[in-house]
Each structure stands twice: as structure tokens, then as C-alpha cells.
Structure 1
Amino acid sequence: MAPATEPTIGSKLVAEFVGTFLLTFTVGCNVLAGNATWGGVSIACLLMVAVYSLGPISGACLNPAVSLALGISKAMGGSGLDWIQVGLYTSVQLGAGIAAAVSYALLYGQSFNLAPAEGFGWLNAGLCEMLYTFMLCFVVLNVAVAKKNLTESNQFFGLAIGLVIIAGAYGAGAVSGGCFNPAVAVGIDVSSVFLGFGWSVLYIVFEIFGAALAVLAFKMVRPEDFHEDKSPKTELVSEFLGTFMLVLTIGLNVLGKSKAGAFSIAAALTAMIYALGDVSGAHFNPAVTVAILQSGRCPELSPAKAGLYIAAQITGGLVAAGTYAFIYVGQSFPLGPVGNSTWGQVVVAELIFTFLLSFVVLSVAVSKQTKSSNMFGFLIGSCVTVGGFAVGGISGGSLNPAVSIGLAGVSILNGGVFLPALAYSAVEIVGGLIAAGVFKVTHEIDTTAEEKEKLVA
């Protein structure tokens, strides 16, 4: 809810300094403490609480890339910040980042250098910074700036923004370190100047590019915010982007041997669902699209439209798989039973947990009786946390034909085979169909008397 009176520019700048300082300080402390498993969660939680605490004061940008995205958005005719405010915010954020980095270096008596991880070059790291800065700015624009979400009922904005850090920290972080913020990059570089200086300049260039791309994508999925008419392509772009970020996060976590892979992937799904749920429904999964179509509870989803959704999802999955393979210098991984698992175990694992995912989508985002206005994204994403940890060691926990096709498709470049993708996809689609059938029984109360008469007829 907006405050009764507009905060002064002084209040806003102090808020931006405090939030950016705490964010950068938390980043440094986690790195120096060696928190490989929980560091990303710690940083994400700091960003989340700062956004909720300071959002009503300054908007809680806490990141020059976010400030820039808001400036570009307003310049293009949408909502955002004027350029003077962008300049003031950016100056304060950069100063806070440097102050925080010097502080954590003094606290620990050491610092760490900013540079791509061993085995990666400037382009690999730059792409990671660009893509997840894009994701961060894109989610901010959709959950905190889009006109549809500027309501008192929107309580998920801070959660969605914080979850982007979990999505990026564990996958992209293994390549670039995972800044996604020029203030963090500059702070790290300055505090470790005795180890070398200069990588922050390259990181910032890619982060700025990511912010600009986010605004362009935001305009594509929400043309009405820029006084333009919505087109049928809007929903397809939404499905492509959501699936792309999901599959990219999967690939980077697997190749980076992440210690929190399932949670990171779930965070990516949750954040993109909150960002695009009111645009396309945020299916990002052909099995979910089939389940929703079969349920009959979404009249606007025709068979033809469902087919277009599935095409956009599969395309997003394939492009994302090619992207993570490029970032990892041609590396990929096969789709199939993990370790000593059998195909029988794979079928059971994928069937049950794709059923879970599809059934929860129907229950919390489609059902008239049980859908949750604020928790829907977190609940759907949590299914990936459940399935990823529960059966990741059996089937890999794909639970999504777009994921299966993307992973298997790019593995062909390294001698892999595509056939497993067809088997996985068939099982996953069946899981979605079973979910629709069970949903019709458990949620029969959703069906009106008129609808029941039509079904009988």
C-alpha cells in the first residue's frame, strides 16, 4: 500500500543506500564464510526482506541495473523513474556497494577477486550476468511495476524478486560469481583491488544490456502498459520466456554440480510464474497445458491455442539448452535413468511427480474454490522442490516435456540420443491427463449446475 504522503528524496536515497549496503555486505560475508549450500538463500532472503521493508519508501531498487530498467521503461512510455532519480539512485547504490565491500573485507581481514570461474572466459561469465540480470529486472517490472499488479492484494512481489537470486546464484554463480548488480560488482572489485581490478567494467556492460532487454521483453508481454494493444503473440512470448529461464536454470545447476539444484530450479519457476501468471497463465510445461485443456476449467484455452503454447514451450526449452551448452563450452548431459535406476523406476517417478505438479496447478491456479491469490506461484514451484529432491536421483526429475526435449535435444551434439525425450514426454503427458481426471472428481464443486447439464448432454 502506498504511504499517505510521498517520501522525500532524502528518505528515498537513504533507503537505497541502506538496502544496497546490506545486500552487498551479505554477499561478501557469505562468500568469505564459504557458504556454498546456503549462501544463495541467505542473499535472496536479504533482498526479499529489504524489498518488503523499503519498497514503500524508494521502490527498493537496490541495484543500478534495476534503476536503469525503470528509467528506460518510463522513457518508453511506461511506468518507472525519471532520469534524474535514476542518476541519484545509481550514485547512492554504487557508493553503498563500495562501502559494504570495504566493510566485509575489514570484518574478515580478507577479500576475494571478481572474475569468471576457472575454465570460463569473459563471454561465458558475461552471458550469465546478462541473462540473470535480465531475469531480475524482468521480474521486478512485472510484479512491482506492471499496472495489473499494483493492487493491495499483491503480497508476492518481494518473494518473487528474492527468488530470482536463488535461481541465479547456484547455476550462473558457478560461472560468473553471480553478481547481477553493478553495485555488487564494483564493490567486490574495489575491495579486492590488490588482487586485480577491471572485471567489474565488463560485468556492468552485460548487466546493463540485460536490463535493457528486460524492458523490451516487458513491453512485449504487457503492451497495454505502454498504451499499445495486446496481440495473440503476447502469450506465446510469455510461455517462451518462462520456459527458457526454467530450462536454462536446470542446465546450469546440473552442469555446475549445484548443492541446491532442485531448490534453485523451483525458485526460477516460482519467480516466472509470479511475473507472467496473469499474462499467459504461466504454464511453461506441455503436460500442464494438456492438463488444463483436459480439465475444461479454462474456456479461453482452445486446442489450437494449447498447441501454440506447447510449440512455444518446446522452442524455449531447446533455445535454453543450447544456451547453457554454449556457456559451458559445449558441455551437455544426457536424459535417462540416473545411476543404476531402471526405466521402470523412471516411468513411476516421472508419472507421479508430473501428476503432482499438474494437479497442484489445477487446484491452486485454476479451481474456483481452492485457488490461492498470493501463494499459487510458491505452491507450484514447491512441487519442483519436492520432485527434484525426491526422484532426481532416479529420473533427473524432469516432470516437463519441454525440459525433456530441450535436454535430450542438445545432448545430441555430444553423442547423446533423442529417443528418451519421447519416452519421458509421453509419461509426463499421461501424468498431466491423470491429474485432470482426478481434479474433476476432487473439485466437482467447481462445476455449476449448468455446466453439469452440458456434461451429461
Structure 2
Amino acid sequence: MLHANDGRGDVDVEEGELMQEFDLHRRLAAEAIGTALLVATVVGSGIMASSLTQDTALALLGNTLATGAILVVLVTVLGPISGAHFNPAVSLVFAMSRALPSRDLAAYILVQIVGGVLGTMTAHAMLALPILEWSMKERSGESQWFAEWIATFGLVSVILLGIRFDRKATPWSVGLYITAAYWFTSSTSFANPAVAVARAFTNTFSGIRPADLPGFVVAEFIGALCAFPLVTWLLRPTPIVETAS
């Protein structure tokens, strides 16, 4: 989620130094751990909140605050190791910008998905539920797919713009954006294919039916792919025109 250089100067991020300091195995471990903790928080706080109140809005608020808070923490502490993507759509964008070597993209996505499923299993184990169960919660329709497009488009834009103008504030920007997006999107802002897959394995407050996954995942990737060229254009330096004296 942090650092990169696209080779053209359009998106100023600088992840090359990280690649020299931390080998691939440690970066993959950071991505797996971070995604697992993120999903464990999303799923676990959803279960806890819905068990403590019958008020759906109050339960969603509890789920929202926990998710936004853990994102700030995870991006802050793991960003210097792996970039703190925790999200295949974000990793794809950074591979496109050459911040993440393209040869590492598949491994990043794999460990993010595995880490996410482990996060669901962890939340279930802590709350005495079956370790894995298919979700029966319906989340489908054009409005929810559009919401996921918007959520992911916004997330990727916030990340790319944040690391260009105020890198230290990026963890807070990401956490606050997701906190807000929970409430202004009809889908409650998954904005992450790995998280979406992991949430298909919990038949609880935060779940999503496996049959509804394709629409969400496709919308998320398209949202990320649309954000990248827009931000690249916004950040492109204005040519300096020299006038004859």
C-alpha cells in the first residue's frame, strides 16, 4: 500500500529501497500476516458486535471502527517491510507502476488470499464457531457491484495520492477512508478481492455468498485499474515551455 516508482515520474512512490532491505520471503510473510489480521478484525468484530446488540446500525459502527483502526496499525507497522498492500487490486496497481516487481505479483496475491482465509479461521476459533463455513449472506446486484467499483477506485486513489503528497499520513488516510466508505457504499466497502474471498467462509455478519464473489471481485479490480491512469494523469508534471528571449 505504500512506496513505488513507475519509471516515468508520474506516480512518485519509491519502493525500490524496500526491496533491497527485505527479501521476498519476509515481504510475503508480512503480507500474509497483515491480511490475516485485517480479516480477523473484520470478521471477529462483526461477530462480536452482532452478538452484543440487535441494532444493525450499532453493530455496523462497531465493525467499522475496528476495521479502520486495524488498518492504521497494520499499514504503519508492516508498510516498511512489504508495502502493506494486503489487497490483490492494490498489488496489481503497484506492479503496473513498477513499484512491485512483476515477478512477485502472483506470490503477493497468493499469500494475501491464504492469509485472508486464515484470518477468518482465526476469528471463528476465537469465538467458538466452526472453523470454516460457507456464507449464506446475499450481496448481489448492480448497485452493490457499482459500490465496490467506487470503493476500490477511491481506495487506490487515496493510496497513490497519499504517498505522493504526505506519506506519513497514508495509514490514517487509508483507515479513515475505509471507515467512511463502510457507510456511504451499499456494499459496506469490501474494496479488496482477498478480503472478499475470505469473507465467503463465514456465515456471520460480515459474510458474502460464494455465488456473489465474482461480481465483487471483478468490480474491485476494474475500480483499481480505473484509478491508476487517472491518478497518473493528475500527478503528471506540467511541461515547462521555454520562450525565446
TM-score tier, shorter chain, comes to 0.7 to 0.9
Matched, 1:23 2:35: no
Q: 2:181, 2:188 within 8 Å by CA — same for their partners in 1?
A: no
| Structure 2 residue corresponding to 1:62, chosen from 74, 80, 86 | 86
What is the alpha-carbon distance in structure 1 between the residues aligned to residue 91 and residue 193 of structure 2?
11
Return the offset for 1:179.
Answer: 1.1
Whole-angstrom CA distance in 1 between matches of 2:94 and 2:209: 32
Shift of the alpha carbon at 1:131?
0.4
The structural deviation recorded for 1:40 is 0.9
Partners of 1:45 and 1:57 in 2: how far apart? 20
Instruction: Name the counterpart of 2:121.
Output: 102
Q: Mind listing any 5+ residue stretches in structure 1 that lack a counterpart?
A: 75-79, 231-457
Amino acid at match of 1:89: Y
Give the drift of 1:3.
6.6
Question: Structure 2 matches for 1:37-116, cutoff 5 A?
Answer: 37-74=61-98, 80-108=99-127, 109=129, 112-116=135-139
- 1:199, distance to aligned residue in structure 2 (A): 1.3
Q: Secondary structure at the match of 2:201?
A: helix
Q: Distance in 1 between matches of 2:102 and 2:20?
A: 22
What does residue 221 of structure 1 align with? 234
Match of 1:11 in 2: 26
Partners of 2:69 and 2:231 in 1: how far apart? 25
State the one-letter code of the partner of 2:116: G
User: Following TM superposition, by how much is the alpha carbon of 1:99 offset from its aligned partner in structure 2, in angstroms?
Assistant: 1.2
Whole-angstrom distance in 1 between the partners of 2:198 and 2:97: 26
Instruction: Name the structure 1 match of 2:187.
Output: 176
CA deviation string 1:125-163 (max 9, x = no partner): 11111101111111111122x3x55xxxx4211111111
Match of 1:37, SS state, is helix
Once residues 71 and 89 of structure 1 are traced to their aligned partners in structure 2, the CA distance between those partners, rounded to angstroms, is 10
CA distance in 1, matches of 2:233, 2:239: 10
Distance change (3 Å), C-alpha of 1:113 and 1:83: farther
- State the partner residue of 1:405: none
- Structure 2 equivalent of residue 127 of structure 1: 146
Return the alpha-carbon distance in structure 1 between the equivalents of residues 235 and 172 of structure 2: 21
- Structure 2 distance, partners of 1:11, 1:136, is 25
2:60 to 28, 36, 59: 36
Number of the residue aligned with 1:189: 200
1:210 aligned residue: 223
Letter in 1 for 2:80: P
**Higher RCO (CA 8 Å, separation ≥ 6 residues):** 2
1:29 partner letter: G
Residue identity matched to 1:16: E
TM superposition shift of 1:69: 1.4
8 A Cα contact 2:138 2:209, kept in partner:
no
Residues 1:207 and 1:140: Cα distance change in structure 2 (over 3 Å): same
Q: 1:136 and 1:196 mapped to 2: Cα distance?
A: 23
Partner of 1:305: none
Q: Displacement of 1:191 after TM fit?
A: 3.9
What is the one-letter code of the residue matched to 2:38?
L
Kindly provide the amino acid, as one letter, of the partner of residue 33 in structure 2: V
What amino acid is the match of 1:183? A
Query: CA offset at residue 177 of structure 1?
Result: 3.7
Normalising by the residue count of structure 1, what TM-score does the alignment of the two structures yield?
0.43
The SS at the match of 2:183 is helix
Q: Measured at CA, do residues 57 and 221 of structure 1 come closer, stay the same or move farther in structure 2, by a change above 3 Å?
A: same
Shift of 1:170: 1.7
- Using the aligned pairs only, state the percent identity: 26
| Structure 1 residue 158 corresponds to structure 2 residue 177 | no
User: In 2, Cα distance between the equivalents of 1:31 and 1:51?
Assistant: 21
Stretches of structure 2 lacking an aligned partner (at least 5 in a row): 4-16, 51-58, 241-245
Please, what TM-score do these two structures have when normalized by structure 2? 0.77
For 2:39 and 2:91, the matched residues in 1 are separated by: 16
Alpha-carbon contact 2:35-2:115 (below 8 Å) kept = yes
Instruction: Give, in angstroms, the shift of residue 122 of structure 1.
Output: 1.6
Paired with 2:106 and 2:224, the residues of 1 have a C-alpha distance of 15
> RMSD of the TM alignment (CA)?
2.6
1:196 Cα deviation (Å)?
Answer: 4.7
Structure 1 residues 28 and 229: alpha-carbon distance in aligned structure 2, compared to 1, 3 A threshold: farther
8 Å CA contact 1:72–1:212 kept in 2: the answer is no
Question: What per-residue deviation string (whole Å, max 9, x for no partner) do you get for residues 385-439 of structure 1?
Answer: xxxxxxxxxxxxxxxxxxxxxxxxxxxxxxxxxxxxxxxxxxxxxxxxxxxxxxx
Tell me the distance in 1 between the aligned counterparts of 2:138 and 2:126.
22
Distance 2:144 2:85 in 1: 23
Contact map agreement 2:46 2:62 (CA 8 A) in 1: no
Contact 1:13–1:92 under 8 Å retained in 2: yes
Contact kept, 8 Å, 2:151 with 2:190, in 1: the verdict is no
Residues 5 and 64 (structure 1 numbering): CA distance in 2 closer, same or farther, change over 3 Å? closer
AA in 2 matched with 1:185 = A
**How do 1:345-384 and structure 2 match up within 5 A?**
none
Q: Work out which of the two has the higher radius of gyration on C-alpha atoms and give 1 or 2.
A: 1
Amino acid in structure 2 at the alignment position of 1:184: V
Structure 1 residues 235-246: aligned runs within 5 Å: none
Which runs of structure 2 are paired with 1:390-429 in the superposition (5 Å)?
none
- Give the C-alpha shift of residue 5 in structure 1: 5.5
Q: Deviations over 1:202-221 (max 9, x none)?
A: 11000000110110111121
Query: What amino acid sits opposite 1:133 in the alignment?
Result: T
The amino acid that maps onto 1:46 is: I
